[in-house]
Structure 1
Amino acid sequence: MNTFWDYLWYTILVFAFVAYLIVLFQIIVDLFRDHSVSGVAKAVWVIALVVLPYLTAVVYLIARGRGMALRTQQAQAEAKQATDQYIRQVAGKSPAENIADAKALRDSGVITDVEFEQLKAQALGQPVSAHNAPTGQ
């Protein structure tokens, strides 16, 4: 590699190889994400990707590209739904639910009005004032 053209050709080859690897991994992920394809068909696709890599990748993208995009969108939607559910679970109750619980405790006589106001302020994210602090009773 002594000339500029050698370096340019080497760069093009590296780019093509990295692009192929990215497409290859996307195809393999899509193959194993698709439950409607049999194991034999998956094995044939993988073998074809090894034997005739670029041709098989192009054929796969043409033949199954639309389904590939839909499966990716579905997987992303499922991941988002799972994340949202986890966040809701970890976050706990809403401020309105916390206030309603505190009101039920106040109405049943378990807590005083001062304690109710403290719980309400905490649920709303407001600082609790010193004159509303419990007296240690």
Structure 2
Amino acid sequence: MQISLLNLADDEGFPLLNSFWVMMWWFLWVLWFMLLFRVIGDIFRDDGLGGWGKAGWTAFVIVLPFLGIFVYLIARGRGMGERALARAQEQERSFRSYVRETAGPTSRAEELARLAGLKNDGDLTADEYERAKAKVLDS
């Protein structure tokens, strides 16, 4: 059965089986491109792979795409997941650190501890400390 995307709406109608085949081929086509971009992205994001290794894998994936993708998945597939997990964990740590730094202390006790630390380091005078402490306790 030959599927032609240009001749889908012929005079005989559009049979259910033909529509199934068209949807399946579209799905596989989109899946293939997603896999191709995922592999190429992994090649360039891998810090452990040198420049020649990146160039070699990229050339292999571009020149022989089906074989290149399958060989890459067999050879480095497990590492893809581990590298993606490590990147996600690092992004989560960065985000949490940024939120903690930006939001500042969340409770009165933490704010008072921060003020006491500033006073002990000599960054605040006793008078400034007392005013800031009163302000925290009033809020």
For the criterion TM > 0.5, the same-fold answer is: yes
Out of 27-36 and 77-86, give the one that drifted further.
27-36
RMSD of Structure 2 on Structure 1 (CA): 2.5
Q: 1:120 to 1:12 in 2, by over 3 A?
A: same
Mark the runs of 5 or more structure 1 residues left unpaired by the alignment. 123-137
Mean CA deviation greater in 25-34 or 91-100: 91-100
Alignment match, 1:133: none
Of 70-79 and 53-62, more deviation after overlay is shown by 53-62
Q: What is aligned with 2:18?
A: 6
Cα offsets for 1:72-102 (capped at 9, x unmatched): 1111111011101101110113432323438
Q: Distance in 2 between matches of 1:76 and 1:6?
A: 41
Q: Which residue of 2 aligns with 1:63?
A: 75
Q: 1:81 aligns with which of 93, 105, 120?
A: 93
Number of residue pairs the alignment of both structures matches: 116
Alignment of 1:1-137 (within 5 A): 1=8, 2-95=14-107, 96-100=109-113, 101=115, 108-110=126-128, 111=130, 116=134, 119-122=136-139
Alignment gaps of 5+ in structure 2:
1-7, 9-13, 120-124
- For residues 109 and 58 of structure 1, the distance between their equivalents in structure 2, rounded to whole angstroms, comes to 70
- The worse-fitting range, judged by mean Cα deviation, of 40-49 and 18-27 is 40-49
1:37 is matched by which residue type in structure 2? L
- 2:11 is aligned to none
Deviation at 1:121, TM superposition (A): 4.4
- State percent identity of aligned pairs: 33
Structure 2 CA distance for aligned equivalents of residues 26 and 71 of structure 1: 12
TM-score, normalised on structure 2? 0.69
The code of the aligned residue for 1:43 comes to A
Scaled by the length of structure 1, what TM-score is found? Answer: 0.70
Query: Larger relative contact order (C-alpha < 8 A, sep ≥ 6)?
Result: 1
- Kindly indicate whether the alpha-carbon contact (under 8 Å) linking 1:20 and 1:54 is maintained by their aligned counterparts in 2: no
